[in-house]
Amino acid sequence: MAIPSLERLADIVGLARSRRISRSGHIGTYSYKAHGAGCRFVSDNGTEVDVDFAADGSEVFNLWRLREYGLSLPEPLDVTDQDIRSAVWSLQPLLNEVRPGLVHRSRLIASG
């Protein structure tokens, strides 16, 4: 089944809920699996990105998801929670820790 045109990644969840697409499948070189408020993407080289979506469609990550991403890289990167928090702080306002351990990607910066 063809994937309808997506304006944003968050649309995958809505399309899967409405059964317009399967809850899992492939988009280009990525496989995807929609879950709850988010989706897990895995590239053909094994890199994993698991993300939830806020009501406005922006991406929300927690420290565990960011760590899993690092571990899935072709050259795995194992970091501590403090390392991740420091990286998030250095990327403000692109990324913001909205509550302890929960990181939100700013739509204003990301889309502009």
Task: Average pLDDT across each block of 10 residues of the chain; the chain has 112 residues. List them in order.
Answer: 70 91 90 93 94 87 88 94 86 75 57 34
Strand, coil or helix: 98? strand
CB-CB contact of 72 with 40 (8 Å): no
CB-CB contact of 106 with 96 (8 Å): yes
Write out pLDDT tens, residues 50-77: 999 888 888 888 888 889 999 999 999 9
- Percent of the chain clearing pLDDT 70 (strictly above): 85
pTM above 0.75, yes or no: yes
Angle between helices 81-90 and 63-72 (to 10 degrees): 100
Strand, coil or helix: 90? helix
Q: How far apart are CA 11 and CA 73, in angstroms?
A: 25
State the DSSP H helix or E strand holding residue 103, giving kind and residue range, or none if neither: strand 102-105
